[in-house]
């Protein structure tokens, strides 16, 4: 058991059969009344985000998770295959588990697969991904008075709005949390 004093970003606990991960938290001590902790939680399996307030000192069931670095190998149907970099053991993950993050992962990229009792429950990727532009219209000089954008298809198949100066074949950095263009990648 852990109390609200143990809360931190990334802390995982179980409640009513569901795993929750703390995304944000704030300890609040009002001038009147008892202290409390305001949190933003994410259901680990579904990705649903919700707000919840805990009384100060309230107990929760802490869950121990293991993170392994694994290399993405390939996709076969609705399954995505990953290899443990230490044991070379391969596992298959269902599309439903990684649907949100796989669009930023290329073959041979290394990601963190989170396990609970040897069962994969989540996949964590870096905050930024470098991907190659495989399809976009050429930007014409003088198209706009201010910085405009155009759609571009990246090597993993996702569409992102990029500035007009980005050309076909260039590598761009994408924020994996928002899906937005950040800048051109430096080689």
Least confident of 53-62, 114-123, 136-145: 136-145
Considering the domain architecture, whether residues 97 and 48 belong to the same structural domain is answered as: no
Q: What's the CATH code of the domain at 155?
A: 2.40.50.140
Q: Which domain holds residue 8?
A: 2-62
Considering the domain architecture, whether residues 55 and 13 belong to the same structural domain is answered as: yes
pLDDT of residue 171: 92
The secondary structure of the chain, three-state, reads CEEHHHCCCCCEEEECCEEEEEEEEEEECCCCCCCEEEEEEEECCCCCEEEEEEECCCEEEECCCEEEEEEEEEEECCEEEEEECCCCCEEEEEHHHHCCCHHHCCCCCEEEEEEECCEEEEEECCCEEEEEEEEECCCCCCCCCCCCEEEEEECCCCEEEEECCCCCCCEEEEECCCCEEEEECCC
Q: What is the pLDDT of residues 47-58, one digit of tens each?
A: 788 999 999 888
Considering the domain architecture, whether residues 111 and 77 belong to the same structural domain is answered as: yes
The alpha carbons of the chain give a radius of gyration, in whole angstroms, of: 21
Quick check: 18 pLDDT over 80?
A: yes
Considering the domain architecture, whether residues 112 and 133 belong to the same structural domain is answered as: no
Q: Which of 124, 153, 168 is the last residue of a domain?
A: 124
Q: Which of 44, 62, 80 is the last residue of a domain?
A: 62
Model confidence at 140, in pLDDT bands (50, 70, 90)? low
pLDDT of residue 172: 93
Considering the domain architecture, whether residues 119 and 132 belong to the same structural domain is answered as: no
What total of structural domains would you count in the chain? 3
Residue with tokens 């300890």: 27
Please give the model's pTM, rounded to 2 decimal places. Answer: 0.71
pLDDT of residue 119: 84
Considering the domain architecture, whether residues 10 and 27 belong to the same structural domain is answered as: yes
Considering the domain architecture, whether residues 120 and 149 belong to the same structural domain is answered as: no
Beta-ladder partners of 149: 163
**How many angstroms from the chain centroid is the CA of residue 39?**
19
Measured CA to CA, the distance from residue 69 to residue 62 in angstroms comes to 23
Measured CA to CA, the distance from residue 116 to residue 67 in angstroms comes to 9
Considering the domain architecture, whether residues 91 and 118 belong to the same structural domain is answered as: yes
Considering the domain architecture, whether residues 175 and 152 belong to the same structural domain is answered as: yes
Considering the domain architecture, whether residues 115 and 136 belong to the same structural domain is answered as: no
Q: What's the CATH code of the domain at 41?
A: 2.30.30.30
């Amino acid at each position: 058991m852990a109390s609200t004093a143990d809360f931190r970003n990334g802390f995982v606990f179980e409640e009513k059969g569901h795993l929750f991960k703390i995304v944000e938290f704030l300890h609040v001590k009002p001038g009147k009344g008892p202290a409390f902790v305001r949190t933003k939680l994410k259901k680990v399996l579904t990705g649903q985000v919700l707000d919840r307030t805990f009384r100060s000192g309230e107990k929760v069931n802490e869950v121990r998770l293991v993170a392994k670095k694994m290399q993405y190998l390939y996709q076969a149907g609705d399954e995505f295959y990953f290899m443990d970099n230490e044991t070379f053991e391969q596992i298959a993950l269902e599309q439903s588990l990684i649907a949100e993050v796989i669009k930023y992962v290329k073959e041979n990229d290394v990601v963190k697969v989170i396990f609970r009792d040897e069962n994969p429950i989540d996949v964590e990727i870096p905050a930024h991904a470098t991907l190659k532009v495989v399809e976009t219209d050429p930007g014409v000089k003088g198209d706009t008075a201010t910085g405009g954008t155009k759609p571009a298809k990246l090597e993993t198949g996702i569409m992102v709005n990029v500035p007009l100066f980005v050309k076909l074949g260039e590598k761009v950095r994408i924020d994996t949390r928002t899906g937005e263009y950040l800048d051109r990648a430096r080689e």
